[in-house]
Structure 1
Amino acid sequence: MKKDIFKIKRAEIFFIFLIMSFNSLYSQVVSLETLLREMTDREAMSEFPVPFYTCRQFSSYDRASVIPGQKSWFANWDRNMFIREEINRGKKEYVLMDAKGPGAIVRIWMTFAGKDAGRGILRIYLDNYSTPVIEGDALSIISGGQLVEAPLSSSVSDLTVYGMRGHNLYLPIPYAGKCKITYESDNIKSMGAKSGEEEAIYYNINYRTYKTKTQVKTFEAAQLLTAKKLRDTTQKKLRDKDVPISQEMKKDTLKGLIPVSENLNLTIQGDHSAIRKITIKMNAENYEQALRSTIIHISFDAHKTISCPIGDFFGTGYKIRKNNSWYTRIEEDGTMSCYWVMPFKKKCDILLENRGYQDIEIDHAEIITSPYKWTKNTMYFCSAWKQYSFLRTGEMKNNEGDGSPFDINYLNLKGKGIYVGDCLTLFNTVYAWWGEGDEKIYVDGESFPSHFGTGTEDYYGYAWCRPETFTGHPFIAQPDGSGNFDPGYTSNVRFRSLDAIPFKKLFKFDMEMWHWTKAIINFSPITFWYVCPEDVKNIPGSNLLDASFPVAMRREDLVSPVMINNKIEAENMILEKKTGGNFRYSNNIKKGWSNNVLALWSDMEPADSLSLSFISNEKMKSDIVIKFSKGPRYGTFKVSVNKQNYVVIESFNEQDTIGEQRLKDLDINRGKNFLHIEYLKHENKNENKNQFGIDCIEFFNH
């Protein structure tokens, strides 16, 4: 009898525990206030979310993108792609988002083009209300301060003309039942805005959806006043980005020389602790190479979860570029800091490895830890890096998907965790935009990505491929955009806050490589996420072999200017000097150009000159044949190699074709040689014939 009573009581206790757990789970009311607090709680990111939510995205991606493998998968009419049209109160509204709750909008990015761009009416309807809770012209709402000030509402870059900025709203907008966002404009004429004569709207909206019985307090406009104190506190924290210092914090340091192929290491013991901040300053003769070839390895409780080039880990790639975000800070003197919370139960091992060809001096490294309350939801911090070296980008693209774009994988994961951000560094080698491609993020085995974007720059918060820098925003940055339109280096950053992406079993992140033209580039993403302890064994490693490669500092580091098989392509030559006009590379598979690429000089004035160089591995006497493009816009030019045997080339022709000009008995140097071109004014002064297109040079040795 006593055993039966004990069994009954034990069952009752277990039942009460289940009820308490259930009530605890669903008694957490999600509101504007809780979301604002979560946004500035770095520690919250290290716990698997309770209550659980999914994060998805509505966007204006091209709806022709349906089946992977088909060229339409890369279709690029990614504007004015709405869910549907509606008539509300006698007005036509285009629906951008329609989602059932409970949920919350956590990020809106938009940009616009065309007549009165962005001045249409944006409306946000919550639950079953026919009257919008938010209404106004889109630019005022997203970045113009109608709801909140920066950084929760901002446009980037400040250096960019306003109409070509990306506009970002990070104010969380929770809803209990459902959410619908619409846009009203008389200037919209069609899906895709293909005519180019109408307003074009590009948008990405990230939103959370919570489990069905999660309690969510629907946003009301009045809360912007009632929660003003918390809102102001949040804004200040996001602007200042400081890490609170407490007496419980412990400081460990690391300093010393790291010879080639050796390392420097530190072990931190701590019962239920977490890294709160890492700061490193290093010295090397070739500093850029040191940022890439010095590897930071971090293990938590004997599980290695981080093995990355040190510069990429801190979000600056292989060039120091000043930035101050919520999770990283880069100073002009090379001091690098990060503020990710990295929990561990017993110990943390940090190892700095020199995989380069020069000694590295760690001038100062400081790791700050403090106690951490480990729970059943606590996760380990992870990071992985990869480089797609000497990547060939395909041919000239069009918006239908021709030109062979393809998907590049940022990350593939198995297990349970949460994705929290990424940085991208690359080196572009042509005078064309490299990042037209869209992000495609698949969560837990989705057959179609729940995040399908509208362009790489849109993903990173800016717009229109603009090269202007922006730093200081808590979650997005372009510390360097030099390589956006020209050969050079680009660095982009996106850290996630409320738009972090939880996953329970699988996570896949692809980014389209949709470079507008044919090129060879280096493309290096680094990714950040947290993983549950039981899945730490599934962490993918970094491909560190490429970290030892020389970093690209000049175009010729990726595109060889050396004559091969008695031929040099014009696009492989080095641009030495240009006194006027525009220089670029034109890519077309139908023109008959060698390698489908032409080096094109245009819009110059009489007497302007251009100097290109190439390298020969031997000294020789040679005839050469210069192949060039002829057509209606091509003019008259004086050409020589190494200042020998100047010839006049007339490249005007009624139809596009290929011309040839032979130069005889030239001395070709071992090493660098120069092709010099001077523009001569055309006889007919009214004709605009000021282009010269160089295809290649062929050599015929004596």
Structure 2
Amino acid sequence: MKQLLLLTCLLVLSTNLFGQGNQVRYAELVNRLTDLKALAVSPAAGEGSAMWSSYDRRSKVDANGKFIFWDANNDGLSPQYIRKEGKNMVLAEMEGPGAIVRMWSASPGKGHVKIYIDGQKTPVVDLPFIKYFDTTSIPAFGYPQLVYETAARGFNNYVPIPYQKSCKIVAEPEWGQYYHFNYISFPKGTKLETFTSKLSSENKAALAKVNRFFDDQLEELPYTVKEAETRKLSESIPAGETKTIKIKGRKAIYALKASLMVEDKNRLDEALRKLVLQIRWDDEKEPAVWSPIGDFFGSAPGYNLYKTLPMGMTEEAMYSYWYMPFEQSATIDLINNFDQPVQLYLTLGLEELSGKEANLSRFHAKWHHNLEPIADTARWPDWTVLETEGRGRFLGMSLLVWNPKGGSNKQYGGEGSWWWGEGDEKFFVDGEKFPSTFGTGTEDYFGYAWCIPNYFTRAFHSQNHTEGNMGYQSLNRWQIIDNVPFQKSFNAYLEKYFPDKWPTQYAVTAYWYLDKGGKDSIKPTPVAELYGFENRFEAYRMPGVIEGESMKVEKNTGGWENTDWFVDEQLFDQVSGHKVLIWHGEPKKESRLSAAFNIDQPGKYKLALQVIKSPDGGKFQAAVNGQAVKQELNFKSEVKPGKAETIELGTFDLKQGKQVLEFSWIPSKSGQNLMIDFIDLEAVQQ
């Protein structure tokens, strides 16, 4: 309770000070990390949010507005900085007053990155870039819910670093390869407390409170409300019917929780997509919120457990703490497009507004799986997330990816042919010709890296459903302290290199605030396209085999290995599951690989491998549980991109449980690659 009261006090202080464009203490800036309520206040002139990143600088817009190399995908390499100063690289330059509010990297290195503020000759932070994501590096970064590496290899740091006049970020050689620096700008005249990496006791306390809240209280309301009431609904909504809830008065929805049941539990995914949540504010005819209920709460397909600051799905219910004010009324429609009744349990938290609150915007959330494509083909591969006009704030998105083939798409993918997540985010604010946010990859926007399909959930982002990049992936990213204010317009795009026909298809829910009279052009999706809109594809799989990607690497004394490696798309019809276990031997090393698999029944078995032979293939010696395979294994083929072949290893007596395959690379200049598609065991009759 004491933690909540402190956060509340900070909230009040920060809201008042931001509204006045006055002094902002560091503790008040930290409070913006949890300040969902203040997001509903319309942005003042001079507020801004943008990002410096290692995007491919070949992408440009010329003087005539023509998009040049708009699909360039050599992020981090050509070049990855603004300019060089001697051997050092300038990564970012900002004018104040402002604050860095998010740092991200996929591969931070040992070279130092220095942050200079307000023209000072001595950097306020001077660390190897890898140490920016280490909670033991300096006291300011000692908060593991704000400074961390996700389970999917993305490095993130959400500790604010304010500056009054200017900020310049300089990197020494070997600093790494990829970066984002998100920053916010304040109206002119705002006075910010000077940042120091040692922090005062007050500032430590503010960061510690947020850290604790993110650690164990994420499903709780992150702000307090006055004169609150709770309304609960428990009702069966018949197929094809709508339940309408009308709320009168000047109020705000501060909490929305829902759970539902259907007769056929195996069809819950479908019900979560076909029960639509629609909300209209005051006298507006068009809904400001329109989304399948499951997607609105930040995950699909189906019900996937996760917790973030504004949204989540728990064992008890789905929750939303977005603050949704209205002047006279709110009309909530729950539209059942499912062919069975839906039993819905809904809880609404309502706050009475006093009339003193000024400049409150209206909450919007819209779901779609394809808006009209951009007419200008030079803009390819931009895929529209949101286009809106008026004044407001962009809050982030939740994205569902359908990618059943996995792997690459050289046939249609252009420069971004390697995997679905290559596409950069591009945010244009108030008619910008070139986006003030230009990212380095879709998974980078969501705070992870290297197409790692691991589950993770943090306060501001999650990958809450994963099918190994070969099926559905569900992700969200909430921009809270780094929300994007706009005065006239906001356009958000993701580069989508793979076409729907591949098939790779997206469905997205965009979240934003918009002042009354603003233009929200996203229309409701037709009922027939809510569920099952995806182009179906079944990957080739060999039944009854042990997939190479399911094996566990126990020892590797050579080069690199990967059990999540997609083969070239031309081999998809030959390779079971499209993936292989891949390994490279390395000169001057022992170059041995041990990989394990399990069997349930002991006995004598013929053991064969389906392998991929390629121009990079090498020669290997092999053993099964320490018993040498007589013949040398040759993975070499001049056929490009390779071909699948079977190699017989021999007959072996295998005990129940773990078996170990061992490979030793035979050093050669002509090849060092090994790829195993699957193991085929054939029982030999005794």
What CA RMSD, in Å, does the superposition of the two structures yield over aligned residues? 3.9
> Match of 1:540?
522
Residue 276 of structure 2 is aligned to residue 283 of structure 1: no
> Superposed, which structure 2 residues align to 1:134-153 within 5 Å?
134-145=125-136, 146=138, 147-151=140-144, 153=146
> Superposed, which structure 2 residues align to 1:307-456 within 5 Å?
307-332=290-315, 335-362=317-344, 364-374=345-355, 375-388=357-370, 406-432=381-407, 433-456=419-442
1:311 Cα deviation from its structure 2 partner: 0.6
> Match of 1:84?
83
> Superposed, which structure 2 residues align to 1:518-667 within 5 Å?
519-535=502-518, 538-545=520-527, 547-550=529-532, 558-559=536-537, 573=540, 575-581=542-548, 586-587=567-568, 598-600=573-575, 607-608=607-608, 655-656=638-639
In structure 2, relative to structure 1, the CA distance for the partners of 1:373 and 1:599 (3 Å cut) is farther
Residue pair 2:275, 2:334 contacting (<8 A) in 1 also: yes
Residue pair 2:228, 2:349 contacting (<8 A) in 1 also: yes
In structure 2, relative to structure 1, the CA distance for the partners of 1:518 and 1:539 (3 Å cut) is closer
> Match of 2:48?
54
1:585 Cα deviation from its structure 2 partner: 6.6
Residue pair 1:467, 1:480 contacting (<8 A) in 2 also: no
In structure 2, relative to structure 1, the CA distance for the partners of 1:578 and 1:85 (3 Å cut) is same
> Match of 1:65?
59
Matches of 1:59 and 1:44 in 2, distance apart? 27
In structure 2, relative to structure 1, the CA distance for the partners of 1:254 and 1:97 (3 Å cut) is same
> Match of 1:614?
none
Q: Secondary structure at the match of 1:94?
A: strand
Residue pair 2:392, 2:487 contacting (<8 A) in 1 also: yes
> Match of 1:625?
none
Residue 102 of structure 2 is aligned to residue 107 of structure 1: yes
Structure number with larger C-alpha Rg: 1
Partner AA of 1:465 in structure 2: C
> Match of 2:410?
none
Residue pair 1:607, 1:678 contacting (<8 A) in 2 also: no
> Match of 2:558?
none
1:246 Cα deviation from its structure 2 partner: 5.5
1:584 Cα deviation from its structure 2 partner: 7.7
Matches of 1:173 and 1:630 in 2, distance apart? 50
Partner AA of 2:167 in structure 1: C
> Match of 1:476?
461
1:291 Cα deviation from its structure 2 partner: 1.2
Matches of 1:584 and 1:156 in 2, distance apart? 22
Matches of 1:451 and 1:62 in 2, distance apart? 13
Report the TM-score, using the length of structure 2 for normalisation: 0.73
Residue pair 1:518, 1:587 contacting (<8 A) in 2 also: no
In structure 2, relative to structure 1, the CA distance for the partners of 1:381 and 1:653 (3 Å cut) is closer
Q: Secondary structure at the match of 1:227?
A: helix
Unaligned segments of structure 1, at least 5 residues = 1-22, 188-198, 392-401, 562-571, 611-627, 636-650, 661-675, 694-702
Q: Secondary structure at the match of 2:27?
A: helix
1:172 paired residue among 160, 166, 169:
160
In structure 2, relative to structure 1, the CA distance for the partners of 1:577 and 1:38 (3 Å cut) is same
Residues 324-357 of structure 1, C-alpha deviations (whole Å, 9 max, x = no match): 1110121135x10100000011211111111223
Residue pair 2:446, 2:462 contacting (<8 A) in 1 also: yes
Residue pair 1:58, 1:96 contacting (<8 A) in 2 also: yes
> Match of 2:481?
498
> Match of 1:267?
246
Matches of 1:630 and 1:40 in 2, distance apart? 52
Report the TM-score, using the length of structure 1 for normalisation: 0.71
Partner AA of 2:509 in structure 1: I
In structure 2, relative to structure 1, the CA distance for the partners of 1:173 and 1:325 (3 Å cut) is same
1:509 paired residue among 486, 492, 505:
492
Matches of 1:173 and 1:141 in 2, distance apart? 12
Residue pair 1:143, 1:167 contacting (<8 A) in 2 also: no
In structure 2, relative to structure 1, the CA distance for the partners of 1:227 and 1:548 (3 Å cut) is closer
> Match of 1:201?
177
Q: How many residues align?
A: 559
Q: Secondary structure at the match of 2:360?
A: coil
Matches of 2:124 and 2:640 in 1, distance apart? 61
What percent identity do the matched residue pairs reach?
27
Partner AA of 1:302 in structure 2: D
1:66 Cα deviation from its structure 2 partner: 1.6
In structure 2, relative to structure 1, the CA distance for the partners of 1:599 and 1:444 (3 Å cut) is farther
Matches of 2:82 and 2:523 in 1, distance apart? 39
Q: Secondary structure at the match of 2:505?
A: strand
Residue pair 1:151, 1:238 contacting (<8 A) in 2 also: no
In structure 2, relative to structure 1, the CA distance for the partners of 1:445 and 1:329 (3 Å cut) is same
> Match of 1:642?
none
Matches of 2:259 and 2:333 in 1, distance apart? 15
1:387 Cα deviation from its structure 2 partner: 1.4
Matches of 2:110 and 2:501 in 1, distance apart? 37
> Match of 2:89?
94
Partner AA of 1:281 in structure 2: S
Matches of 1:251 and 1:104 in 2, distance apart? 38
Unaligned segments of structure 2, at least 5 residues = 1-16, 408-418, 550-563, 583-594, 596-605, 620-633, 651-663, 678-686
Matches of 1:280 and 1:518 in 2, distance apart? 35
In structure 2, relative to structure 1, the CA distance for the partners of 1:124 and 1:357 (3 Å cut) is same
Residue pair 2:362, 2:513 contacting (<8 A) in 1 also: yes
In structure 2, relative to structure 1, the CA distance for the partners of 1:111 and 1:144 (3 Å cut) is farther
Residue pair 2:230, 2:348 contacting (<8 A) in 1 also: yes
1:122 Cα deviation from its structure 2 partner: 2.0
In structure 2, relative to structure 1, the CA distance for the partners of 1:445 and 1:657 (3 Å cut) is closer
